[in-house]
Amino acid sequence: MGNAARVIALLTALVLLPMQARGALMADPDKLYAQMKAAFEKGNVQGWTFYNQQAYLSTVFNAGRAYSLQRPDDPGYDYLAQTTVTMAASLHYDPLINHEAVPWWVREAALYVQKNNPDPAEQAKAKDLLARVDALEDPIALAQYADEDAAALLQAYPHDSNAQLERVEANWRGWLITRDASWRSLAFVHANEPAFPIANLPSTWGPGFLNALRNAAAGAEPYTQGDQVNAQSVVNRMRMVNAPPIIANVKSQPHDVYLTTLAPADEYFGPLGMSILGIQNELKRVNFMIGYGYTTQESGAAVQIATAIDDLHKVYPRDRDLPQMLLDVYNTLGKIGTPEAGAARTHMRAILTVEYQDTPEAHKLLAE
């Protein structure tokens, strides 16, 4: 993405500003707070459907991020942190099936509630949320939590099509991050349930899931006999549906729609205050030095790049270039044998494969 486009984005994109950034203020916490209040009023009018609650939670996340990055000492921060924990717990928030790149804010809000709210019930909610966001770098635990959260959500909203979709999505994504075929089989089982809205598969994970169903129905390896039976039933149901097999919806937007914001060229990230161009140039320099055998010597610099990209992802979670940057620094860190580089590499992989799992870059990494 060209620097000219990033300069233009400086004037047009709605983004969140890091504390150390020195660019122009792009997001107005007051406006985001007003959007949250409007979503709350809409929920009151419409009876707080599952959709209303999820829409409200999304606005709480946006306002919370803005206050965290711009007004951490504002009295509104307390309300937003508490509301984040309350609503996220109520809707069984799970980082594997939520696609708003907010684990860092959920962790921050949960830690704040643990420190400032002695209510045992709120402490328990915060503890459960922390367990989930702290599992980002543990695919096995993350898949298990996603299964539990999706099951609890469906129990609370048994007739909601989005809750039914998330039940299958949780298991399918569990398969993608662990390659444990039992999760894929469970996704097929739930998709074969009579109430599953097969005509509403989203355009994010839907195509891959549909392809797997067709392969299993055809008896391809390495699917089990049970997989084949469930897949054949689902595929037969799909043939009877008078609608496209894949649809886009507000909760599951395709990559080119979801990632539309550009981080401006004059914003700076991480402790060293690196711009987008600075990150890219430093990454080239590190790889150049690694090519000459300077591996461990470049560990500190590579970790600093990863820290800057992590900072960027908190502030501009929808930057179009972010998935490629995550993949590039992940590959670079893999060439360095230090514990610090290994830990940073694990963190970069977690962000890419969990928070941006539907991008081509995540698909490439998960296919390895």
Q: Of 90, 119, 137, at which residue does a domain stop?
A: 137
Share of the chain above pLDDT 90, in %: 80
pLDDT confidence bin for 241, thresholds 50/70/90: confident
Does pLDDT of 257 surpass 90?
A: no
3-state secondary structure of 175: helix
Evaluate whether residue 16 is within a structural domain: no
Residue 245's pLDDT is: 62
pLDDT bucket at 7, cuts 50 / 70 / 90: very low
Residue 62 lies in a domain: yes
The residue assigned the tokens 């702290």 is: 134
User: What is the band of 263 on the pLDDT scale with cuts at 50, 70, 90?
Assistant: confident
Does the structure show a pLDDT above 80 at 149? yes
Task: Give me the pLDDT at residue 265, please.
Answer: 83
CA separation for the pair 250, 39 (Å, rounded): 15
DSSP label at 97?
T
Read off the pLDDT of residues 116-141 as tens digits, 9 standing for 90 and up.
Answer: 999 999 999 999 999 999 999 999 99
Whether residue 221 lies inside any domain: the answer is no
pTM for the model: 0.86
Number of domains in the chain: 2
CA angle 339, 177, 331 (to 5 degrees): 40
pLDDT confidence of residue 44: 96
Mean pLDDT for the stretch of residues 201-208: 92
Any domain includes 168: no
On whether residue 349 sits in a domain, the answer given is yes
- What's the rounded Cα separation, in Å, for the pair 310 and 296? 21
* Summary mean pLDDT of the chain: 89
Comparing CA positions, the residue from 119, 123, 63 lying closest to residue 89 is 123
Tell me the C-alpha distance between 201 and 295, whole Å. 45
HSE-CB at 310 with a 13 A cutoff on CA atoms is 21
pLDDT band at 28 (very low <50, low <70, confident <90, very high): confident
Contact by Cβ (8 Å): 345, 330: yes
pLDDT at 31 over 50: yes
312: confidence class by pLDDT, cuts 50, 70, 90: very high
Q: Is residue 112 part of a domain?
A: yes
pLDDT tens track for 359-368: 999 999 999 8
For residue 23, give both structure tokens. 């660019």
pLDDT for the residue numbered 252: 38
| CA 187 – CA 184 distance, rounded (Å) | 5
**Stretch 170-194: mean pLDDT, rounded?**
97
Residues forming a β-bridge with 249: 252
In a domain, 18, yes or no: no
Show the domain range for 354.
266-366
Residues 298-316: what's their mean pLDDT? 95
Is pLDDT above 80 for 328?
Answer: yes
Q: Which of 121, 137, 153 is the last residue of a domain?
A: 137
- The runs of H, that is alpha helices, within 120-271 are 120-133, 139-156, 161-178, 181-191, 206-217, 225-239, 255-258
Residue 99: φ, ψ to 5°: -120, 40
DSSP tag of 298: G
SS3 218: coil
Q: 82 lies in a domain?
A: yes
- Between CA 68 and CA 118 the distance in angstroms is 22
Question: 4-10, long-range: CB within 8 Å, 24+ apart, which pairs?
Answer: 5/262, 6/262, 6/263, 6/264, 6/265, 6/276, 7/264, 7/265, 7/266, 8/262, 9/261, 9/262, 9/263, 9/264, 10/264, 10/265, 10/266
Last residue of a domain, one of 112, 137, 162: 137
